[in-house]
């Protein structure tokens, strides 16, 4: 029986992907196929790689990409509408104007607040989706939904789906890279980049921007580089001798090769974080000289380097830990957003500049946003914090296949609820997959009696976002 890889990856109904995968490895005869071998998309892809700039903690849309003059008009008056926030149905307080003036930018005149002076230069490239909404107002389930399409724990994340569907172009680096904030990871930690019920090969790999980027990447203490090489050589000899008396078992061969890949990964991954060959100008552009932007700047620069080497999906977290260490501006949204926007604006703009310079821009998809938005109200008089808002928020897409210079959809006049061209998180996922050349209804994984999809039974591609 010949194996048609595309068949079993994309049409798992009636087949059994998890078993088939095992079979694939054990049955491949000549060439060793790994779970991460590159695969063709369903149709011509607009983007080959994807970067998710995850603004952890939930940025306020009315302070960033969704201007609301009505808020200024009614600033300080109590909110009288029917909407609630949070899982405890907290009262929503008083309408609060944005302290950040909006200005129209670029030829498109896309309004962006003063929080993003650098990103504003790319207004004509951004496609702001103002009609976003999600199913939960809790960070844990909100992050899970944004990353895995479901508020329930344990579903594979977007990066896992992409790795599963497309494989990677460079097996000496992980296919799905995650870089967290120095203040901590997102709530629910690794559940946000889990492969869930899929093989572990598809899960996100934590990548550090300083020191050794991957866990256990460096040669252990006590072993020199020569020892490392000699040890690997001895291992291969012993393994080859073992295989010689067990011909035909390609699983053994796959494992032998994984050690060579790991050895290459030691060099490749370490090279990626070695910024010594970057020019002073580049480092400055990313803000690496400035303590405020240094960390996210490094990550953005490393992102460009990872993209150059063919990494499929990179997720960068801005904000980590809890409350004000993230975009979760409950107490003082103004100070909070100044900090987190200040840390990320210049690095993101530098990444966009660099992607355009290197030509990667055309087939790299950028996603910016958090797990939900924030209320147009304050949490009390004279207390400039904003609460969670799952009824409406903004995200933006840019890069390969995206129609920039536009804002799609709208929230109501005060920015509380998405009312026009509503885009559910599952619609966003469908759109991202579409741009990556995958049909979200065909990218399935057979598990527990069903062809599972990241979009479940939902998901519509946001056509207006496509170039």
Partner 1 sequence: MLRYTVNTMLVLLAFTVALTPLGAAVDFTSQIRPLLERHCYSCHGPKLAMHGLRLDFRSHAMKGGESGVPAVIAAKRTQSLLYRYIAGLEKNLRMPPAGPALPASDVELIGKWIDEGASWPESESAALEEDPKFRRGRTHWSFQPLRRASVPEVKNRAWVRNPIDAFVLAKLEQKRWQPAPSATPQQLLRRAYFDLTGLPPTLLQQQTQASLDQVVDQLLASPSYAERWARHWLDVVRYAESNGYERDGHKPQAWKYRDYVIRSFHQDKPFDRFLTEQLAGDELDEPTPETLIATGYFRLGPWDDEPADPDTDRYDQLDDILATTSQAFLGLTLACARCHNHKFEPLAAKDYYSMIAVFDGLERPRKGRTELDRPIGTRAEIEREKARDARITPLAEEIAKLKKPFQTKEKNWESKIPADVQRQVAALEAQIAALRKETPDLPRGYFLEEPSATMKPVHVLVRGKPGAHGPEVAPAVPAILVKQQPQFLPPAHTSRRRLSLAQWLASRDNPLTARVIVNRVWMWHFGEGLVRTPSDFGLMGQRPTHPELLDWLAAWFMDNGWSLKKLHKLILSSNTWRMSKRVNAEYQKEDPENRLLWRVPVKRLEAEAIRDSILAISGRLNPTMYGPSVFPPVQPQALEGSSDPDKIWKASPEEDASRRSVYVFVKRSLILPMMEVLDLCDTARSAAQRLTTSVPTQALTLFNGDFVNQQARYLAARLLQEAGSDERQQMELAYRLAFARLPHESELREMRAFLERERAQLPGENASLHALQQLARVLFNTNELVYVD
Site for partner 1 in 99-158 (CB under 8 A): 135-141, 144, 151-154
Handedness of CA 174, 176, 182, 185 (dihedral sign): negative
Nearest 5°: the CA angle 125, 127, 130 is 150
* The only residue of 131, 149, 165, 321 in contact with partner 1, by rule CB under 8 A: 321
State yes or no: residue 237 binds partner 1 (CB under 8 A).
yes
Smallest distance from the beta carbon of 261 to partner 1, in angstroms?
Answer: 4
Encode 224-252: b = buried (16+ Cβ within 10 Å), e = exposed: eeeeeeeeeeeeeeeeeeebeeeeeebeb
Is 38 a binder of partner 1 (CB under 8 A)?
A: no
Stretch that binds partner 1, among 31-39, 90-98, 123-131, 351-359 (CB under 8 A): 31-39
**Which residues make Cβ contacts (< 8 Å) with residue 81, sequence separation at least 6?**
92, 416
Is 11 exposed, middle or buried, given 0-12, 13-18 or 19+ CB atoms closer than 10 A? middle
- Nearer Cβ to partner 1 (121/206): 206
Beta carbon nearer to partner 1, 396 or 446: 446
Contact 353, 40 (CB under 8 A): no
Q: Classify residue 14 as exposed, middle or buried by CB count within 10 Å of its CB (0-12, 13-18, 19+).
A: exposed
Residue 4 touches partner 1, criterion: CB under 8 A? no
Shortest separation between residue 430's beta carbon and partner 1, angstroms = 18
Q: Is 272 in the site for partner 1 (CB under 8 A)?
A: no
Look at residues 431, 317, 440, 293 and name the one whose alpha carbon lies nearest to residue 365.
431
121, 256, 419, 466: which one contacts partner 1 (CB under 8 A)?
256
Number of residues that bind partner 1 (CB under 8 A): 101
The CA distance from 141 to 128, in Å, is 24
Residue 362: both structure tokens together: 């055309």
Binding span for partner 1 by CB under 8 A among 70-78, 121-129, 235-243, 276-284: 235-243
* Footprint on residues 375-434 left by partner 1 (CB under 8 A): none
Site for partner 1 in 361-380 (CB under 8 A): none
Q: Is 275 in the site for partner 1 (CB under 8 A)?
A: no
Which one of the spans 104-112, 256-264, 272-280, 290-298 is the region binding partner 1 (CB under 8 A)?
256-264
Our finding on whether 82 is near partner 1 (CB under 8 A) is: no
CB under 8 A: which stretch of 43-51, 77-85, 124-132, 215-223 binds partner 1?
215-223
- Alpha-carbon distance of 124 to 131, in angstroms, equals 19
Comparison of 65 and 202: residue with beta carbon closer to partner 1: 202
The 438-467 site mask, x for binding partner 1 (CB under 8 A), equals --------x-xxx------x----------
DSSP states of 266-284: HHHHHHHH-GGGS-HHHHH
Residue 246 touches partner 1, criterion: CB under 8 A: yes
Question: Among residues 45 and 425, whose Cβ is nearest to partner 1?
Answer: 425
Of 164 and 368, CB closest to partner 1: 164
- Which listed residue (4, 6, 7, 19) binds partner 1 by CB under 8 A? 19
The Cα 399–Cα 368 span in angstroms is 11
* Interface residue with partner 1, options 40, 84, 243, 441 (CB under 8 A): 243
Q: Which is nearer to partner 1, 180 or 411 (CB)?
A: 180
How far apart, in whole angstroms, are the C-alpha atoms of residue 222 and residue 224? 7
Residues 157-176 that bind partner 1 (CB under 8 A): 171-172, 174
Q: How far apart are CA 97 and CA 63, in angstroms?
A: 9
| DSSP string for 75-121 | TTPBP-SS--BTTTTB---EE---SS-EEEETTTTEEEETT-TTGGG
* Minimum distance, C-beta of residue 245 to partner 1, in the bound complex (Å): 8
Query: Minimum distance between the CB of residue 287 and partner 1, rounded to whole angstroms?
Result: 21
């Amino acid at each position: 029986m010949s194996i048609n890889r595309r068949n079993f990856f994309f049409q798992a109904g009636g087949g059994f992907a998890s078993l088939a995968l095992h079979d694939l490895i054990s049955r491949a005869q000549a060439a060793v196929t790994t779970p991460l071998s590159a695969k063709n998309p369903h149709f011509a892809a607009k983007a080959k790689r994807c970067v998710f700039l995850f603004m952890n903690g939930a940025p306020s849309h009315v302070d960033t990409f969704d201007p609301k003059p009505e808020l200024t008009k009614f600033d300080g008056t109590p909110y009288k509408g029917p909407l609630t926030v949070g899982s405890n149905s907290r009262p929503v307080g008083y309408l609060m104007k944005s302290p950040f003036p909006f200005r129209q930018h670029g030829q498109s005149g896309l309004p962006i607040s003063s929080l993003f002076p650098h990103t504003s230069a790319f207004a004509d490239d951004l496609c702001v989706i103002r009609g976003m909404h999600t199913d939960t107002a809790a960070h844990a389930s909100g992050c899970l939904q944004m990353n895995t399409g479901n508020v329930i724990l344990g579903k594979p994340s977007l990066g896992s789906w992409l790795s599963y569907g497309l494989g990677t172009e460079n097996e000496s680096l992980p296919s799905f890279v995650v870089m967290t904030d120095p203040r901590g990871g997102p709530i629910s930690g690794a559940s946000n980049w889990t492969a869930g019920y899929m093989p572990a090969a598809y899960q996100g790999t934590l990548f550090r921007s300083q020191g050794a980027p991957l866990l256990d990447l460096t040669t252990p203490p006590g072993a020199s580089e020569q020892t490392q090489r000699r040890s690997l050589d001895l291992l291969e000899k012993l393994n080859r001798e073992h295989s010689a008396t067990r011909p035909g078992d390609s699983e053994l061969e796959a494992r032998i090769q994984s050690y060579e890949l790991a050895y290459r990964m030691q060099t490749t991954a370490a090279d990626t974080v070695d910024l010594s060959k970057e020019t002073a100008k580049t480092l400055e552009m990313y803000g690496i000289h400035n303590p405020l932007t240094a960390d996210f700047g490094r990550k953005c620069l490393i992102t460009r380097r990872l993209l150059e080497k063919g990494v499929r999906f990179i997720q960068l977290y801005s904000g980590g830990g809890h409350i004000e260490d993230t975009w979760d501006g409950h107490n003082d949204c103004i100070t909070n957003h100044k900090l987190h926007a200040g840390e990320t604006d210049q690095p993101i703009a530098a990444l966009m500049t660099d992607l355009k310079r290197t030509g990667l821009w055309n087939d790299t998809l950028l996603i910016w946003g958090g797990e939900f938005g924030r209320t147009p109200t304050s949490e009390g008089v004279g207390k400039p914090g904003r609460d969670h808002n799952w009824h409406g928020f903004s995200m933006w897409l840019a890069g390969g296949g995206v129609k920039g210079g536009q804002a799609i959809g709208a929230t109501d006049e005060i920015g509380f609820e998405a009312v026009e061209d509503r885009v559910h998180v599952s619609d966003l996922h469908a759109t991202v997959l579409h741009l990556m050349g995958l049909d979200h209804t065909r990218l399935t994984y057979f598990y527990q009696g069903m062809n599972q999809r990241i979009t479940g039974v939902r998901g519509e591609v946001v056509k207006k976002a496509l170039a």
